[in-house]
Structure 1
Amino acid sequence: MKVGYLAENYLYKRNIINIVKDVEYQKVNNLFALTYPGVKYINKIAKKTVIPFNDSIYQFTDLNLNKVDILHFFNTISYGKTPWITTFETILPRLDCTLSCHQGARPDFSVLTHYKAVKKALAAMASDSCKRLIAMSDCNANMQRILLKDFPQYQQAIEPKITTLHPPQQLLVSSYADKNINLDGKIKFILVGASFFRKGGMEVVETFSKLKREYNYDLELILISSLRLDDYATKETEADIQKAKILIQQNLDWIKYYEQLPNKEVLELTKQCHVGLLPTYADTYGFSVLEFQAAGCPVITTNIRALPEVNDNDRGWIIEVPTNYLGEAIYTTKEERLEISSAIKSGLERVVHEIFANREVVIAKSNRSIQGIKNNHSLSHYAHKMKEIYLQAL
């Protein structure tokens, strides 16, 4: 069996490429890619988005020139006749007009019924060529089903194709004891992610600084982030980045800061830490949570999107922030963002106090995190399910 894929980025490597044994994976050519330079040039000359790049990058056609048995994409729609499936992280189709419909206090997909591009993509998803739509979480499978309610002409054909399959994760340790770290000295926390502000990094640094001043807790914070300007959920500015840099520099006696590290080194560092951090405003899934848990680090997360499916107060800690009925945090106004920030800070304080009041809680949650990875993210189980999907598609 020959499976075609589009890219060799992290998402494809994590979820698609070389997952199933006895399958030949082949990178395929996409004729839509021929439009990318033109789209970028037009937008650059116009100094604004004249042609949305997302409307090209997540679409595929090849006039059936790629000789593969099945195509497996990430977030992408095919308009050809070769059998295809797509793993997706929010909703499909992934177009400029669909990317924010799940946001706000009262999200509404009905506005999409006016877009021809949406209907064209849904027709492709309803076609016989589309074999399966693999949601990474129940959260986004639910989003997809809700979107389809506004498109009854496609709903009956598409809905049976939707299935949930959580990403796989290899264990890094088999138990807390394997980490070979004790609880008598520093408690080490770790946060990883280029989008520092969106992932709650500023709240972490400010809260931990306060706790160090007021309680002199013996903690260490490892930050791995380029402090990238994201401007998505948190709407940070260059001034915010400078403020974060100054705060980090002022606390290098207990903060270890890395702008970037190879993934292998990150995983090794994770095994030396006690607790992972992802108190995020917005994440479609949160792969770092799986990596932390696989390294025996129970994780402090918010309650957004897929996070309650991979974390809870039994194997980690959940911070409740305001969400809409789809599980997305409500962050569209400055006041809403301040409310989220306040909830994250108070939640972090609560958890850190709990840990230092009873350090043994880390061991129990660590072992339950590892068990959760074994039960729900087994690579062999994922590969078995994916092979079934491929065989059924053919």
Structure 2
Amino acid sequence: MFLPFDKLLNKLDGIAWMAPFHNADLVHAFNRVPIGERKYVISFESHLPRRFSIARDNAYTDWMTREISSRHCRRIIALSHYARNQFIDQTKDACTAEALKAKLLVRHPNVLMGPDVDPLAAELRDGRMDELVITFVGAHFARKGGCVAVKLAQKALEQNLPVRIQIVSSMTVGASVWTDPASEAFFKPYMDLLDLPNVTRFEGLPNGAVRQMLGRSHFGFLPTFSDTFGYSIIEAMAEHTPSIATPVQAIPEFVKDGLNGLMLPLDVDELGHWKQPVGVKHNENAYEDFFADEIEKLADHALAAIRPYIGAPEKLLPLRRAARLTAEKMFSPAVSAAFYDPFYDRVASENPSTDPKNDPLDVSSPTISDIEDQLA
């Protein structure tokens, strides 16, 4: 049990209070610094300490940095190499920067594997594929690439291409989403495309149904503008399905174009963040024009990327095999357990009065480049 302080005040998103008098030898926290814990490790998605509502350093942010620099915090575990790089950049001016890096490692999240046998393998081997089915999953419709999905559907329909787009989304758009144009009116033309005959929309599906849908799709679709990890991609991989994605943040760590998915070009900075026009606010027409142009370009790139696979089921089989193998080697519960079971024992036995640093066995998760030769 714990109390996330952001429920009391949004700016306190970076800390949590554990229930007192627990007898754990080691606490594994996630994203939020656990107040008062004698010995803990902490995993994080993108930023640590979390300070999304705090623009400038202050006594509170300095305290959070001191806390994760202390001997109480035995390891800092980034969920991706992107998160590791982001953390190093975020803490580069801290006087404890080197001590923080000494206990920093990368361990990817894990997902349950789907069925051992690819549900589409038999029909693809037999040459059966009436239409190319592409599934987009994401509550934040525009941020994650839903507008690109429906524009792709429109372009495919105009060219009489047998492409079906499936949308699983609650359709959240606008000012509440950090990437979106502020005006919801901007999105009406894209919402209207949901009525196209080659688009099917689903809302409120349980995760099991979504996973099954991904497994029956030829591609997942996540041409996202901002995503700390891209969980729908690894869930699709666990179901044998490659995804069409953008090189945002952590995604290039596990998707390689033409090997286990398709990568669409998008302009990103050295940390993997999408480049946006400087000084342009999201409620300005200039930002709407920029966003619409990015959608259009990604839809064109997506159409070009899928053309070789339309009516060519045999070309999908190697992608699907590599996607599933990627999931097994990088994200399976077995891989996670093999690392964490001895890791917890090892860290729990450390003397809390010693300076924490990575053990030689604290090995970071691989990237797709590290395992590429194992996916053939």
Superposed pair shares fold, TM > 0.5: yes
Q: What are the superposed Cα offsets for residues 332-358 of structure 1, whole Å, 9 maximum, x if unpaired? A: 542653553243122212112222264
Paired residue secondary structure (2:156): helix
d(CA) in 2 for partners of 1:309, 1:274: 22
Does the 8 A contact of 2:151 with 2:296 survive in 1? no
d(CA) in 2 for partners of 1:340, 1:218: 24
Does the 8 A contact of 2:82 with 2:272 survive in 1? yes
d(CA) in 1 for partners of 2:20, 2:129: 62
What is the CA-CA distance between 1:66 and the residue it aligns to?
3.4
Distance 1:330 1:95, change over 3 A: same
Match of 2:252 in 1: 308
d(CA) in 1 for partners of 2:121, 2:209: 15
Query: Which residue, out of 232, 241, 247, partners 2:193?
Result: 247
Does the 8 A contact of 1:196 with 1:226 survive in 2? yes
Query: Which residue, out of 105, 119, 122, partners 2:62?
Result: 119
Distance 1:370 1:56, change over 3 A: same
Q: What are the superposed Cα offsets for residues 209-264 of structure 1, whole Å, 9 maximum, x if unpaired? A: 122112x1112111110101243112253224443332212x1x322111220111
Instruction: Write the letter of the residue equivalent to 1:121.
Output: M
What is the CA-CA distance between 1:118 and the residue it aligns to?
1.8
What is the CA-CA distance between 1:300 and the residue it aligns to?
0.3
- Size of the aligned set, in residue pairs, is 333
Match of 1:16 in 2: none
What is the CA-CA distance between 1:63 and the residue it aligns to?
8.3
d(CA) in 1 for partners of 2:179, 2:2: 33
Aligned positions of 1:89-100 closer than 5 A: 89-97=45-53
Match of 2:234 in 1: 290
Query: Which residue, out of 291, 312, 332, partners 1:378?
Result: 332
Does the 8 A contact of 2:131 with 2:310 survive in 1? no
TM-score calculated relative to the size of structure 1:
0.78
TM-score calculated relative to the size of structure 2:
0.82
Instruction: Tell me whether 1:224 sits opposite 2:162 in the alignment.
Output: no
Q: Any gaps of 5 or more consecutive residues in structure 2?
A: 281-286, 349-376
What is the CA-CA distance between 1:175 and the residue it aligns to?
4.7
Instruction: Write the letter of the residue equivalent to 1:387.
Output: D
What is the CA-CA distance between 1:207 and the residue it aligns to?
2.2
d(CA) in 2 for partners of 1:339, 1:141: 31
d(CA) in 1 for partners of 2:245, 2:182: 20
d(CA) in 2 for partners of 1:239, 1:206: 17
CA RMSD between the two structures: 2.2
d(CA) in 2 for partners of 1:393, 1:134: 13
d(CA) in 1 for partners of 2:311, 2:58: 55
Match of 1:212 in 2: 157
Match of 1:45 in 2: none
**Identity fraction in percent:** 20
Distance 1:261 1:160, change over 3 A: same
Query: Which residue, out of 169, 175, 190, partners 2:111?
Result: 169
Match of 2:304 in 1: 350
Aligned positions of 1:1-394 closer than 5 A: 28-30=1-3, 33=5, 36-37=7-8, 39=9, 53=10, 55-62=11-18, 64-97=20-53, 112=56, 114-151=57-94, 153-176=95-118, 180-182=122-124, 183-214=128-159, 216-229=160-173, 230-249=176-195, 251=196, 253-313=197-257, 314-331=259-276, 333=280, 334=287, 337-338=291-292, 340-356=294-310, 358-394=312-348
Instruction: Write the letter of the residue equivalent to 1:159.
Output: K
Higher RCO by CA contacts (8 Å cutoff, separation 6 or greater) = 2
Match of 2:284 in 1: none
